[in-house]
Structure 1
Amino acid sequence: MAEVELLSTPHNIQISDVTCDSFRITWEMAHEDASRVTHYFIDLSRKEGSEHNRFKHRDVPTKLVAKAGPLPMAVRGHWFLSPRTEYCVAVQTAIRQPDGDYQVSEWSQVVEFCTGGKQRRSNRELNVIDYSTSLYRSECGGAMLPSFKDNSGSHGSPINGKLRGVFLSCNTEFDTGLPPKDSPYGPLRFQISAERLLNPSTNLYFADFYCMYTAYHYVVLVLAPAGSEGDSFCKSHLPRLDLSSNPFLTFTSGDAPAFCHASDVILEVLYTEPLLLEPGILAQISGHHQLMSLSTANAKKDPSCKVCNISVGR
């Protein structure tokens, strides 16, 4: 009987690109194993002794099984990863046998990391999250024109179907402070300097706070130039936020203006005026375009969440 050649133990585990519900992981293994390994096992669990976060889902040990592929590999899952939470992770490689069983390596050493949301991030760029660039350039005079807010989020939000705007994203990677490499919105990203939109002549309003059966929450803000039609609507329908002091998005003036955003929520901003393409930068995203859980078109709020529903669990 031929002797079975053992698999080497994965080592030098590296975690990168950590967000509130995703991360990338890579490791090293013997060169001869790369062509034999068919599957990866990733053991993920909340670090013992860490405090439970305030989000609604319980943290339970999770073993992920993935077909072998190029490293680093992305791990995404709002159903088992929670924001601002410390996790332990270990890796095992495997070869699937003809009978369906697996020949496995030893588990790697355990590595610890923390998901996004422990601090506020500085962000000097605002990113358009849904657009067709060729349409705006050819038919809209080089500008993105405001459109009505859809019916996603809280059904009682006063801006749904009534306020026009261009949707922007303020989210950044937890470990770099840069815009996410991956995007659920499309393969192109338009970035514009935050100070062009967020400045003393602009008013900031709170519009919505909701989740969609996920461990993370969405916050929708409205940016309206003072005295504009959008500003008039917001004054009578939305609470105004202090630009220099609020939990979500701030601007501090000075010789070097500072812009910060909350990193424990998915932050979206509705800008109520046309947005010119010329002052911004259009580029291909460096990661992957993924139509997944972050796409919120007409998505409804989770009515059972005890965090974003005032009447639940009080």
Structure 2
Amino acid sequence: MDAPLATPCNIQICEVTCDSFRIVWDMPPEDTARATHFFIDLSRKESRDPNRFKHRDVPTKLVAKAVPLPMAVRGHWFLSPRTEYCVAVQTAVRQPDGDYLVSEWSQVVEFCTGDYAMEHLQQLLDKAKVSAGRLLKFSVFYRNQHPEYFDYVRRECGSLMRPALKDCSGSHGSPINGKLQGVFFSCNTEFDTGLPPRDSPYGPLRFQIPAGHLLNPNISLYFADFYCMYTAYHYVVLVLAPVGSEGDTFCRTRLPMLDLASNPFLTYADPQRPGEEPLFCHASDVILEVLFTEPVHLDQGSVEQISGHHQLKSLTTANAKKDPSCKVCNISVGR
């Protein structure tokens, strides 16, 4: 009878991406020489099932031919970005009759997948470009809120709208979620008036600021996300960061940079003649969410009552989850 296989130990996870990882463990040289297969059991950490390994002597998830370690694991599961997983392994020798001689399961090791890499964001950007539509002129950025918000800004913050941490709405793998601070603005306009919409899901008061205060040659523009929430319309998240600022440094290695003068979403063009104003344009067929990474003083603009309604709660996006089935805004890696 063949000698039993030792239990794999010292499990290590390395080179983790949003949809792959490499795994290595220790086993005796004699096991390395005769192992023909590895069994890998992977589950999300939030699963509290104590019987995760229902059959401890047969493969439960993945059977892989034995290869030199570390072994790359990808494509066997649709791994999601920023998700905690548990993994355990067995080594095995396939017998002439087709059965397996297997080791005991290793200890369970936990790890977390990463954010979208630049290549994944580029895929998302390419999809967003298709949906952007023609460019329309605009002149102001705006931010809708309830009176309590502006009262707090004046009373407690010296009239500065301070950056807040980006929530986890949109694509789960976006590198700015829960990591980059900023103040959100809109710039979409109505087709018939060329002005900001009369309605808002965020509150009855609107802060408006001339577009040039946030979008000018001293600003870096980045693409951060493209998503929908089980609706026909799509959102594009952009980041505006003053050149050389902390926000600019954060985004430069994580997000695709856009040309201010030539991109499908948000553009700035210098005045053509003395006395003229710069030209600002926004995409017409997507809803732009613009994150400005620095504080904005209320004195730079004005706060006014909006003329329409402000109960359109279905349009709010706070911590909203992306539709994982949408073929327009999903890419081939984890959601």
**TM exceeds 0.5?**
yes
TM-score class, shorter: 0.5 to 0.7
Is 1:287 matched up with 2:311? no
Match for residue 207 of structure 1?
224
Is 1:153 matched up with 2:170? yes
Paired residues, what number? Answer: 197
TM-score with structure 1 setting the length: 0.61
SS state at 1:136 partner: helix
After the TM superposition, which residues 1-314 of structure 1 pair with which residues of structure 2 at under 5 Å, given as runs? 119-130=134-145, 132-254=149-271, 255-311=276-332
CA deviation vs aligned residue, 1:285-310 (integer Å, no higher than 9, x gap): 01111132210000000000011012
Question: In the TM superposition, what is the alpha-carbon distance from 1:280 to its structure 2 partner?
Answer: 0.4
Kindly provide the amino acid, as one letter, of the partner of residue 140 in structure 2. Answer: E
CA contact (8 A) 2:133 2:286 kept: no
SS state at 1:247 partner: coil
For 1:293 and 1:220, locate their aligned partners in 2 and report how far apart those are by CA, in whole Å: 18
For 2:144 and 2:169, locate their aligned partners in 1 and report how far apart those are by CA, in whole Å: 15
SS state at 2:151 partner: helix
For 2:178 and 2:145, locate their aligned partners in 1 and report how far apart those are by CA, in whole Å: 17
Kindly provide the amino acid, as one letter, of the partner of residue 311 in structure 2. Answer: Q
For 1:133 and 1:143, locate their aligned partners in 2 and report how far apart those are by CA, in whole Å: 10
For 2:244 and 2:185, locate their aligned partners in 1 and report how far apart those are by CA, in whole Å: 21
CA deviation vs aligned residue, 1:7-62 (integer Å, no higher than 9, x gap): xxxxxxxxxxxxxxxxxxxxxxxxxxxxxxxxxxxxxxxxxxxxxxxxxxxxxxxx
SS state at 1:208 partner: strand
Between structures 1 and 2, the one with greater helix share:
2
For 1:129 and 1:156, locate their aligned partners in 2 and report how far apart those are by CA, in whole Å: 27
CA deviation vs aligned residue, 1:130-153 (integer Å, no higher than 9, x gap): 461000001101110000000000
Question: In the TM superposition, what is the alpha-carbon distance from 1:118 to its structure 2 partner?
Answer: 5.9
SS state at 1:278 partner: helix
Larger radius of gyration between Structure 1 and Structure 2: 2
For 1:222 and 1:159, locate their aligned partners in 2 and report how far apart those are by CA, in whole Å: 9
For 1:240 and 1:118, locate their aligned partners in 2 and report how far apart those are by CA, in whole Å: 20
CA contact (8 A) 2:226 2:235 kept: yes
CA contact (8 A) 1:218 1:268 kept: yes
Gaps of 5+ in 1: 1-116
Gaps of 5+ in 2: 1-131
Kindly provide the amino acid, as one letter, of the partner of residue 134 in structure 2. Answer: Q
What is the root-mean-square deviation in Å for CA atoms of aligned residues? Answer: 1.6
Question: In the TM superposition, what is the alpha-carbon distance from 1:256 to its structure 2 partner?
Answer: 2.2
CA deviation vs aligned residue, 1:81-101 (integer Å, no higher than 9, x gap): xxxxxxxxxxxxxxxxxxxxx
CA deviation vs aligned residue, 1:231-279 (integer Å, no higher than 9, x gap): 0000011110000000100000113200000010011100000000002
For 1:299 and 1:310, locate their aligned partners in 2 and report how far apart those are by CA, in whole Å: 18
Identical aligned residues as a percent: 69
